[in-house]
Amino acid sequence: MKFKAPKWLAAAPVAAALVISLAACGGGTSESSSSATDALAGSDQQTLDKYTTADVTPIDQIDKSKLGLITEGTLRVGTLSDAPPNIFIDGSGKFTGYDNELLRAVGDKLGLKVEFASTDFSALLSQVANKQFDVGSSSISTTDARRKTVGFTNGYDFGYMAVVTKNDAKVTGFADLKEGVRIGVVQGTVQDDYVTNTLKLEPVRFPDYNTVYGNVKNGQIDAWVAPSQQATGQVKEGDNTKIAEKVVNTQNFTAYAVNKDNQPLIDALNAGLDAVIADGTWTKLTAEWYEDRPTAAEQTPQGWKPGSKAVQIPAK
């Protein structure tokens, strides 16, 4: 099925799809089989509540001198450049997208400058853990395995997982992902974990979204298991590709990654996130960047909501 191109697509640069050999895409996943979760099992509200804070520190009580930032007064953020509508560089060279514009709004609430730098997703969490970045912004699903490496803010998003194929492919959805199907993933993602540890299959791993999508288009792989937001950002009319199926995934909310020992920064970001939820900014940005989520019900599926347990999403 095809989706209407959202308004941000016109501003996004068209990156060349790099064709790389299947042998070059091997290697291990960053998620261990002992910690695997079925990303399509649906929302487990009890699990989500275990990590969601009851409330937050009021913004006027945040001491910005205690945030442990690499550069005082500035959030240095690692992000991606090729994953619209969430995280990408637009035609003017600006880092933008839903996740990054929301983080800018959080930074404004805290009186912090936000500076972005591009990296690969497979390296991002270790870079945050090693304090090369203060924050990781990349639609990061907050799995238990990842919590061993980094800390996370409260959630600001959920996601869908999608199967992307050529129009005439025999694969029509998740049920067709079986032995013998060449399945592409971006290395280190929840989709990598899902194919490897839930489906017990060996995927073809790629370093970024442009490359894996290019290999769908040229037939080097049969299907790409993708975050549906990024799938929608890649699939275009005339590419002879489609989103064959997408399924809601709220098993682990999406959050910003922070060094797990830097609780003051996590607390500050949680305070800023609640502030942008309470004043309607979160709702506005969600509707702007996700044109398939215009209503409150579509923005908060299966009882999920962003921020702390205390914050309320304002009624429209």
Residue showing tokens 């007064």? 73
- Which tens digit of pLDDT belongs to each residue from 203-245? 999 999 999 999 999 999 999 999 887 888 899 999 999 999 9
What number is the average pLDDT over the span 58-70? 96
251 φ/ψ angles, rounded to the nearest 5 degrees: -60, -40
3 state SS of 17: coil
CA-CA distance, 108 to 307, in Å (whole number)? 17
Q: Per-residue confidence at 47, pLDDT binned at 50, 70, 90?
A: low
Angle formed by the axes of helices 98-110 and 263-278, nearest 10°:
100
- Which tens digit of pLDDT belongs to each residue from 118-149? 998 889 999 999 999 999 999 888 888 889 99
Report the 3 state secondary structure along 92-151.
Answer: CCCEECHHHHHHHHHHHHHCCEEEEEECCHHHHHHHHHCCCCCEEEEEEECCHHHHCCCE
Q: Per-residue confidence at 315, pLDDT binned at 50, 70, 90?
A: confident
Residues 6+ apart with CB under 8 A from 10: none
CA-CA distance, 23 to 17, in Å (whole number)? 17
**Burial (CB count within 10 angstroms: exposed 0-12, middle 13-18, buried 19+), residue 88:** buried
Residue showing tokens 């290019």? 214
55 φ/ψ angles, rounded to the nearest 5 degrees: -155, -165
Contact 114, 103 (CB under 8 A): yes
What number is the average pLDDT over the span 86-111? 96
Q: Per-residue confidence at 9, pLDDT binned at 50, 70, 90?
A: very low
Q: What is the DSSP letter of 30?
A: S
